[in-house]
Structure 1
């Protein structure tokens, strides 16, 4: 998780996280899907006195209702069909550490009762067992739902909500911290780059500006997914608009922000950005001339052979710039 932030709202989030981390207090993380609740939970754990002990995460919404109790508390051999061996649950495995309950609002009523009972004295029994097991774990829960509203609808126990809501931290959506988007994108880029041995070395300034203009309904998770997909699609050394969905650029402003990798030598940065400009020029040229090589070459003041060579260099295909009717005729 990016910890250097220019957003006042995120600075407050990290201030709260740093205050609560050394304690054993239960934390409730709220915010939209994809804002980074699991990353913040691990951030808190890594700065706590429990950092050398397990961090056990469980997505409560991804586990079938009939298995969630076993995931949390474990089960004895023969406790139910398919229980061929004894199994320790997350709370037992994370003794002295932290249990992160993601999407806690999706827990069934029965699981809510069991969790409430556990939180009262940190004691539980495995499913099908009779022995009391006592552990010392810290609970960090997360939800994108309004637990208070769910409680009023009798979908979530209010007494459990109060147990979980000891120290709430709300993470703002990405659209409310746009000043951090270039740094977040860079952080994601650097983290993903080792998994893609292609030529990509940087993100274009047009893409960064589009990131800052976009509303990000899927937040940081959506940003990461788009960058990962762009790594696969891009054939040049720069992640360009061609490798991202068109809707990302609908509201792009004319005022662009430079985004330059200062870890590279000046000569390499100059080459990369000159090539990015050259590729963008060719794309716009071919769009204007509807993929007609002769007309495009004449306007550019170069020969058709040189234009074809440049198109090959940047992976540009004539058919990509022809009107649909023309493409059908060619096919």
Structure 2
């Protein structure tokens, strides 16, 4: 039975709809936009029909297409098929709306066969899209089977714990250094849970300004603050029924922590500027690269929230502690690059692999992926060689740095590669000396902070890696 939502003004024509629409459809009616949006948020409908008149604000003219009102529905379910119901006089504006936001339209009044025709067309298109998503998921799953192949005892234990916790509703707290793959682990938990067909929404808490974090997570009501011109749904509402992944949860403001605690304890919250409770059914996965327990003991993170999040803690080890997996991870990255580039690299040269194993990988798997991609682009042979990687990654342990030469390259290319190796080594040693302080590093190097950041991005250098290394020294 196909689930259909019709949001339309109540009149004699609409009252006759249930008896006129063919079999195979279960229809839910709403007679105004607000109640229609509430129905739309409560479950996933196969098709939604919306009266053009209900999308417009009272002061809008007929010449104005109501994109902002339709956006409210798109925020909830971006891929849901939306069909506009239009009177003859609003067809031009409806067509404009369909071209930009909707999936089709019907002119009022319509015949049952017209309804069935557009319904079956959109349902068929949705089936094709579902099949494509299934194929992409199959590819992703097959790809991940290679990623979780491991010779590391600690990783085998981690994957077993993931397998155990994934089918449950328990809150999971992922800890580990930057770049170890916490987002990938969160996705793996979601894809092996009972919520795998629902939304997985990642929120990078550290990237959102403090003044906006509560609105981003919990939404806001119209007029809640300057610039709040309409109601906005937060990430928790958008992830309802699925999984929300709170990355860098330690950066949340004190007030946001209070609201998050309410969600974890009671599965409800209030939008910013709102008084009504919003109930959600949601699985929470949080992640941090800091010691959340220490932060809570120091008063920098709520203790009660820490214990609520720490129901099932999972530690993702750094790459330097599982170098036995290095060859397999590199091969996964190479295979993915082979699919998108016009050349085929077979693997990594043995000597290069041994050199990579001696490197400490401060940026972890993320740094490895970036450097493999860079080496892949530079490599001219069927295997990744040491010459394609930056100097400090592949050089022998020694107090004297020797820049590797590749006499098989043209002079200009060899020179450029030497310069890259020198710049990366110079910046890494300088950042180590300054403990990752950007302003001090730029001043010593005689360049602007903007130039420094550009070079750090180019060479995959991460500030936190140098600060963390210094903090661990006695």
Is the TM-score greater than 0.5?
Answer: yes
- How far off is 1:182 after superposition? 0.3
Q: Could you say what the CA RMSD is over the residues aligned between the two structures, in angstroms?
A: 2.2
Deviates more, 1:147-156 or 1:204-213: 204-213
Q: How do 1:120-269 residues align onto structure 2 when only pairs under 5 Å count? A: 120-198=265-343, 200-251=345-396
* Contact residue 196 and residue 231 of structure 1 kept, 8 A: no
Task: Give the whole-Å Cα distance in 1 for the aligned partners of 2:344 and 2:165.
Answer: 43
Q: How do 1:286-325 residues align onto structure 2 when only pairs under 5 Å count? A: 286=407, 311=408, 315-317=409-411, 320=414
- How far off is 1:213 after superposition? 1.7
Determine the structure 2 residue equivalent to 1:23. Answer: 168
CA pair 240-159 structure 1, distance change in 2 beyond 3 A: same
* Contact residue 338 and residue 344 of structure 2 kept, 8 A: no
- How far off is 1:93 after superposition? 0.8
Task: Give the whole-Å Cα distance in 1 for the aligned partners of 2:306 and 2:214.
Answer: 18
Task: Give the whole-Å Cα distance in 2 for the aligned partners of 1:127 and 1:236.
Answer: 57
Task: Give the whole-Å Cα distance in 2 for the aligned partners of 1:193 and 1:202.
Answer: 11
Gaps of 5+ in 2: 1-143, 399-404, 419-474
Task: Give the whole-Å Cα distance in 2 for the aligned partners of 1:116 and 1:13.
Answer: 27
Equivalent pairs counted in the alignment come to: 266
- How far off is 1:72 after superposition? 0.9
Gaps of 5+ in 1: 254-282, 287-310, 325-331
- How far off is 1:20 after superposition? 0.6
Task: Give the whole-Å Cα distance in 2 for the aligned partners of 1:195 and 1:252.
Answer: 35
- How far off is 1:196 after superposition? 2.7
Determine the structure 2 residue equivalent to 1:294. Answer: none
Determine the structure 2 residue equivalent to 1:116. Answer: 261
- How far off is 1:88 after superposition? 1.2
Task: Give the whole-Å Cα distance in 1 for the aligned partners of 2:413 and 2:270.
Answer: 65
Offset from partner CA, 1:39-96 (integer Å, 9 cap, x none): 1111011111111111111111111101111111111233223333322111101111
Task: Give the whole-Å Cα distance in 1 for the aligned partners of 2:396 and 2:195.
Answer: 46
CA pair 153-225 structure 1, distance change in 2 beyond 3 A: same
CA pair 316-20 structure 1, distance change in 2 beyond 3 A: same
Task: Give the whole-Å Cα distance in 2 for the aligned partners of 1:145 and 1:242.
Answer: 35
Indicate the SS of the match to 1:101: strand
Q: Which has the higher contact order (CA 8 A, sep 6+)?
A: 1
* Contact residue 178 and residue 364 of structure 2 kept, 8 A: yes
Offset from partner CA, 1:250-285 (integer Å, 9 cap, x none): 2379xxxxxxxxxxxxxxxxxxxxxxxxxxxxx66x
CA pair 108-319 structure 1, distance change in 2 beyond 3 A: closer
Determine the structure 1 residue equivalent to 2:196. Answer: 51
CA pair 319-110 structure 1, distance change in 2 beyond 3 A: closer
- How far off is 1:130 after superposition? 2.2
CA pair 67-239 structure 1, distance change in 2 beyond 3 A: same
Task: Give the whole-Å Cα distance in 2 for the aligned partners of 1:26 and 1:202.
Answer: 39
- How far off is 1:114 after superposition? 1.0
Q: How do 1:74-113 residues align onto structure 2 when only pairs under 5 Å count? A: 74-113=219-258
* Contact residue 200 and residue 235 of structure 1 kept, 8 A: no
